[in-house]
């Protein structure tokens, strides 16, 4: 008799994502790129909560509720998908939210559009800071949390992207879902699959790496960084994985050198800044597949994947799943950049 599998010690979770999300073939892009390409539609985890962030928040906000928090603090860029998802999820659970957002000139914040509009509609209070101040965000978190406690509140701090040991469970959970998805493909799990995704803060990557080990998913995990560089993500992802293994007593082996794969070189002009060639591919995917990528995360990652495949069609193997982590609201602030390309 085979030994029983050890149950995975999932922390408490508050269900909010509409899962499982579908896995769909991208037939025309597969032909163009010379691989069997599928998309995991985590852009369909909800409407207001669309994207990968809600999977992490299910675990993080369960902890906030256990601690009887009445307000959550988090941070990101002006059009942060994570901040929007946090604001909406907090409202849904009866909590307030305070967002610490970076912008070049805090006295002249960006227009009220896209994710930022949804933040405000969900009732968020926003503190604008400069990119230089953002480097000291932990200090700002501590200061703001202390101020809220003095006012009688019970704040709960969520790091950038909900990317910590607890948030990683969102994609450990998703790995079990992906394992079932792959088993249903025409050739099932008889060939190794590469799962490609945008790396923005490291939590999704960490969860996928640990998830493949915990659920026995035969997959190669590849992140394309949309900010910072490879060394930054090796460190960030490594710390999340190691903390998660230690904190939850996970019986898995992990090596930063062999388990973390980051394809660098596609940050382009910088975080949330788009080049015409990136937007052109985004438009091509929309017009040939009816699939809308976003310019900050998935658009850059898809562009990087396509460039790598055009150099070497076998670089990722012949069966690829592109993880669509959402971000459609980030398209609207790019309307002026997209308009000339549409003409």
Kindly report the CA angle at 16 between 15 and 21, in degrees rounded to 5?
A: 100
Burial 210-237 (b: 16+ CB within 10 A, else e): bbbbbbebebebbbbbbbbebeebbebb
80 catalytic residue (yes or no): yes
Of 310, 301, 285, 307, nearest to 34 by C-alpha is 310
Written as one string, the DSSP assignment of 288-302 is HH-----TTTHHHHH
**Alpha helices by DSSP H, 34-168:** 53-66, 81-92, 114-121, 131-134, 137-150
Q: How far apart are CA 279 and CA 11, in angstroms?
A: 39
Angstrom CA distances, 214 to 24, 251, 252, stand at: 24, 8, 7
Q: Which of 30, 80, 201, 287 is catalytic?
A: 80
Q: How far apart are CA 99 and CA 128, in angstroms?
A: 8
Angstrom CA distances, 315 to 309, 310, 312, 333, stand at: 6, 9, 5, 34
Kindly report the CA angle at 18 between 278 and 219, in degrees rounded to 5?
A: 60
Q: How far apart are CA 82 and CA 77, in angstroms?
A: 9
Of 149, 127, 40, 44, nearest to 83 by C-alpha is 127
Strand 193-199 vs strand 319-324: parallel, antiparallel, or unpaired? Answer: parallel
Q: Which two tokens stand for residue 289?
A: 């597949």
Give the H/E segment covering residue 73.
strand 71-77
Q: How far apart are CA 274 and CA 121, in angstroms?
A: 27
Of 20, 14, 158, nearest to 100 by C-alpha is 158
Give the residue numbers annotated as catalytic, written as ranges.
80
């Amino acid at each position: 008799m085979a030994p029983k599998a050890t149950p995975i010690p999932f922390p408490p979770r508050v269900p909010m994502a509409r899962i499982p999300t579908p896995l769909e073939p991208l037939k025309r892009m597969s032909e163009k790129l010379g691989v069997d390409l599928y998309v995991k539609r985590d852009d369909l985890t909800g409407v207001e909560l669309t994207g990968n962030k809600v999977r992490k928040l299910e675990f993080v906000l369960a902890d906030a509720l256990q601690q009887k928090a009445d307000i959550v603090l988090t941070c990101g860029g002006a059009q942060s998908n994570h901040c929007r998802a946090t604001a909406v999820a907090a409202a849904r659970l009866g909590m307030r939210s305070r967002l610490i957002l970076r912008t070049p000139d805090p006295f002249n914040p960006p227009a009220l559009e896209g994710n930022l509009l949804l933040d405000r509609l969900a009732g968020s209070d926003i503190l604008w800071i400069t990119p230089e101040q953002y480097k000291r965000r932990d200090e700002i978190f501590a200061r703001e949390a202390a101020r809220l406690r003095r006012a009688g509140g019970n704040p709960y701090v969520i790091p950038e992207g909900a990317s910590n040991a607890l948030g990683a469970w969102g994609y450990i959970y998703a790995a079990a879902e992906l394992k079932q998805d792959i088993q249903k493909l025409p050739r099932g799990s008889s060939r190794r699959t590469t799962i490609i995704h945008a790396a923005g803060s490291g939590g999704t990557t960490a969860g996928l790496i640990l998830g493949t080990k915990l659920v026995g998913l035969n997959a190669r995990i590849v992140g394309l960084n949309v900010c910072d560089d490879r060394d930054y993500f090796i460190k960030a992802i490594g710390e999340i994985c190691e903390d998660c293994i230690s904190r939850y007593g996970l019986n898995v082996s992990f090596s930063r050198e062999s388990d973390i794969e980051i394809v660098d070189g596609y940050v382009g002009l910088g975080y949330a800044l788009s080049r015409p060639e990136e937007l052109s591919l985004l438009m091509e995917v929309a017009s040939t597949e009816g699939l809308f990528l976003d310019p900050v995360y998935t658009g850059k990652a898809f562009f990087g994947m396509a460039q790598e495949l055009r150099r070497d069609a076998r670089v990722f193997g012949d069966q690829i799943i592109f993880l669509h982590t959402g971000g459609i609201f980030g398209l609207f602030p790019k309307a002026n950049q997209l308009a000339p390309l549409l003409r």
